[in-house]
Structure 1
Amino acid sequence: MLKLNWDNITILVVDDNTFMRNLVVSTLRMLGISNIVARSSATAAIEALSESRRNPVSAGFATIDIILSDFVMEEVDGALFLRWIRTSKQAPDRFVPFVMVSGAADQQIVEAARDAGVSEFLAKPFSAKSLGDRIVEVIKNPRQYVLAPGYFGPDRRRQDRPTSWSYADDYSQPEKNRRVTEASQIQVVHARSNIRTLRDDVRAIYFRPANRLRDKLGPNALRGQIDFDPLVIQAAENRIQEMVGDYAVWVKNYLDTMARSYKALVKQEEEPKQHIVNINQIAHELRGQGGIFDYPLITSFGKSLYDATLDTRGKVTDNRLKLIEAHIDALRVVFNKQVRGDGGKVGAELLQDIERAVRKYSEAPSAGPI
């Protein structure tokens, strides 16, 4: 393969989970990307980016080429961080490619990221290849940026074709084209155009900046295929598997923390909401991590527990406690017995146990205070 100058690319990694942040950084280094800025929160990332605009020497970097950010974070989440990037006057580059990383890859989450101006979405669990693919995508196929009422970011349409109403969508306007902006109402601004002013009569502006990331990769990026060497990808995958031992330590800590929160809920000695939130956040991390290390059952049980604890305001009933306990017990079995892959007979029995627990103990969410 042609040599590409990956050392010219600087990536910002933002994740409040130390293990996942280190995993992403380690995988990027294995892919040949050495210029990495890592921050433990969106707040810290915003401070660093703001400082880089004022004083690059003090910040330790001048330009961020790609941002990889977790979605679920305390204080400032990934969506708010992305909105700051796209709309704040303090943001050094509103056009920077932004890849959202999350174990919560539900449609609602993906759409929230899209509407905030995301470039690509990477669902956990991820592989070295899927991570590399997202980076290659924002370089090979950069989308135009759209400025329209209520939105600025990469074009949310992947295909250049109109979307029509169906009769079911709106019976009063059958088959009406939902794209109401005409070509005459759009102003296109190219990278090398001489346009210095924006028209007042337009409904949308399309920005088509130069592909500076491809240019940074060097002349070979213009002549050949932009991609990571398959041997490098395999080496990165091997490195991920080598970290399984470290992951086992993290899983034990997660389970111990959840068990403490569960016991506090049983004793009813403290404010229960924070313990439900704590269990929910750990479940979210587990749903995104297990599959990376060939523990898909941890991902499955983590997702189920995450769904079961989404309502943080609901009453802590006996049934709810039994449902949480069933999930923690199942996760401990997977961890203690090192149940990899689908787990065979043991895995099937555990899945059935959780399904029965969900059916038996699930309750309608309550809107009342706890």
Structure 2
Amino acid sequence: MSGYQYCSAMVVEKDSFLRDALVDAINALGFRFVLKADGLPDAVEKLIQVRVNPDKVGTGGLDLLVTQASDRYAEGKGLIRWVRAHKDSPDPFMPILAIGPSKPGANNIISMGVGETAALPPGFSAEDFAAGVFKSTADQRHFVKVGKYFGPDRRLTEEEIPDERRESDLPYNKAGVRFFPPPSNRLERIGKDFRIGPDHVGAVKTAIEMHTPDFRKWVEKRSRQIISAPLSDCDQRPEHCKAVVSKLGEISAETEIKAAIFGFPLITAIAASLRELTEVEPVFTRVYIDLISKHGTAMLAALHDDQRSRTSEFATEIMAELRAIVQKYYKAHPELLKSTATTPSPPGSR
């Protein structure tokens, strides 16, 4: 049995504390070298150097790329497409682990994503992350070129394609689809018998938890942004206030994801409640503005009391209070529920 001691990786993440946590998590799995980048331009520059000047970046090849690729992080999707299709890419077949949901797809040859090898849910656990790394690096699917897409074959029901079958024998070839075998040495680098075990998961969990203090500082800052959101005089400047609410939606979505990663389910629930509220056309009444502020206050309370349970008496009281205010708001404005395709979930109902 081997492992990742001969492997290199890159992590692309804009928030420094989460980026460092992911780097440490990959190191905990045994990777010998991990590059990090803070966004698309930085990542592309370093990926080019991997190909043309490996001494500068410390490696001449990457066995894994980890990047955000959620709907709110378009740069990650752009990076995946760049790796798969650009002439300067060091390896179009590079294993890519995307953080963010793949789009559900039909049972056809078109990818469910943009070319990632595997995808993690935004609020992943240590076990999810370790499994995602292994799934990406051990993947042996053929790659497919169809239209503008190049990446792993993502049919939901795949036939196992024997290695000896030639491209001309593969299904869908007549439909303008081309297949390419994965690099033969990919799996050899980690060993065909290598598997992720409980010790690996524990090491990843410990590595991520080491960055909890940075996460706490981040949440405190975001909570205070929510509490002090400039939502006064909205009847006179509605477009300004709508822009503020949109920004609060981004903050709450990020908080929801990061709180799940760092193991704060109560903060995850509060952030999800705020995100859902911002996704409905707002009516800038005093109740609405107080409701926004109340979410920030609830996050701070959960953070300062170090509440990580969704079922404690403290958590139940906070979520019940938020639920009551949300229901009061929608009771006063029932037209908001009629204008949406789905009724917003009351906080804590999921």
Q: TM-score range by the shorter chain?
A: 0.7 to 0.9
Say if 2:213 is the partner of 1:240.
no
State TM-score, norm by structure 2. 0.79
User: Where do 1:79-98 residues align within 5 Å?
Assistant: 79-98=77-96
Change (3 A) 1:203 1:90: same
* Aligned pairs for 1:1-370 within 5 A: 2-4=1-3, 6-72=4-70, 76-102=74-100, 105=101, 114-160=112-158, 187=168, 203-217=176-190, 221-222=191-192, 225-260=193-228, 262=229, 264-266=230-232, 271-272=240-241, 274-310=243-279, 317-318=284-285, 320-361=288-329, 363=336
Distance 1:97 1:267 in 2: 50
Distance in 1 between residues matched to 2:71 and 2:94, nearest whole Å: 21
Contact 1:13 / 1:21 at 8 angstroms: preserved in 2?
yes
How big is the shift at 1:130? 1.7
Taking a change above 3 Å as real, the CA distance of residues 113 and 78 of structure 1, as seen in their structure-2 partners, is: farther
Letter in 2 for 1:141: D
| AA matched with 1:342 | R
Instruction: Tell me if the contact between 2:103 and 2:112 (Cα under 8 Å) persists in the aligned partners.
Output: no
Q: Distance in 2 between matches of 1:113 and 1:147?
A: 10
How far is 1:226 from its partner?
1.6
CA–CA separation in structure 2 for the residues paired with 1:155 and 1:93: 17
SS at match of 2:93: coil
Letter in structure 2 aligned against 1:286: T
Maintained 8 Å contact 1:12/1:64: yes
- Aligned Cα RMSD in Å? 3.3
Q: Deviations over 1:41-97 (max 9, x none)?
A: 122112221333333334443212211101259885222222222222232222111
Which residue does 2:162 correspond to in 1? none
Q: 1:239 to 1:97 in 2, by over 3 A?
A: closer
Contact 2:13 2:67 (C-alpha < 8 Å) held by counterparts: yes
The CA deviation at 1:316 is 6.4
Find the residue that maps to 1:301 and give its secondary structure. helix
C-alpha distance 137-340 of structure 1, shift in aligned 2 (>3 A) = same
Structure 2 residues without counterparts, runs of 5 or longer: 160-166, 331-335, 341-350
Q: Quick one: structure 1 residues 127 and 315, their matched pair in 2 at CA, closer, same or farther if it must change by over 3 Å?
A: closer
Structure 1 position 273, deviation (Å): 5.2
* Whole-angstrom distance in 2 between the partners of 1:38 and 1:274: 32
Q: Displacement of 1:148 after TM fit? A: 1.5
Q: How much does 1:294 deviate?
A: 3.0
Question: What is the CA-CA distance between 1:113 and the residue it aligns to?
Answer: 8.2
Contact 2:64 2:137 in 1 (8 A): no
Contiguous gaps of at least 5 residues in structure 1: 162-185, 190-198
Amino acid in structure 1 at the alignment position of 2:231? L
- Name the amino acid aligned to 2:130: G
Report how many aligned residue pairs link the two structures. Answer: 320
8 Å contact kept, 1:187–1:204: no
Amino acid at match of 1:266: S
CA spacing shift, 1:242–1:108, aligned 2, 3 Å: same
Q: Could you tell me which residue of structure 2 aligns to residue 171 of structure 1? A: none
Deviation (angstroms), 1:188: 5.7
Shift of 1:340: 1.7
Say whether the 8 Å CA contact 1:188–1:207 is kept in structure 2.
no
Distance change >3 Å, CA 11–CA 273, structure 1 → 2 = farther
Q: CA deviation at 1:345?
A: 1.8
* Matched AA of 2:179: Y
Q: Distance in 1 between matches of 2:94 and 2:150?
A: 12
| Alpha carbons 2:242, 2:282 under 8 Å: kept | no
Give the CA deviation at 1:310. Answer: 4.1
Q: One-letter code of the match for 2:149?
A: Y
Separation in 2, partners of 1:73, 1:17: 17
Q: 1:274 to 1:60 in 2, by over 3 A?
A: farther
Please tell me whether the aligned partners of residues 326 and 357 of structure 1 are also in contact (alpha carbons under 8 angstroms): no
Q: SS state of the match for residue 115, structure 1?
A: coil
| Greater Cα shift, 30-39 or 58-67 | 58-67
Contact 1:188-1:208 at 8 Å conserved across structures: no
Shift of 1:153: 1.2
CA distance in 2, matches of 1:291, 1:141: 27
SS at match of 1:289: helix
Change in CA separation of 1:321 and 1:72 when aligned onto 2, cut-off 3 Å: farther
SS in 2 for 1:77: helix
- Residues 211 and 127 of structure 1: CA distance in aligned 2, closer, same or farther (over 3 Å): farther
> Which secondary structure does the structure 2 equivalent of 1:323 belong to?
helix
The range that moved more, 63-72 or 277-286, is: 277-286
Q: CA deviation at 1:207?
A: 0.9
Contact residue 297 and residue 342 of structure 1 kept, 8 A: yes
Q: Is the Cα contact below 8 Å between 1:100 and 1:113 reproduced in 2?
A: no
Q: Aligned pair in 2 of structure 1 residues 316, 26: CA closer, same or farther (>3 Å)?
A: farther
Supply the distance in 2 between the matched residues of 1:202 and 1:28 (Cα, whole angstroms): 40
- More divergent stretch after superposition (68-77 vs 344-353): 68-77
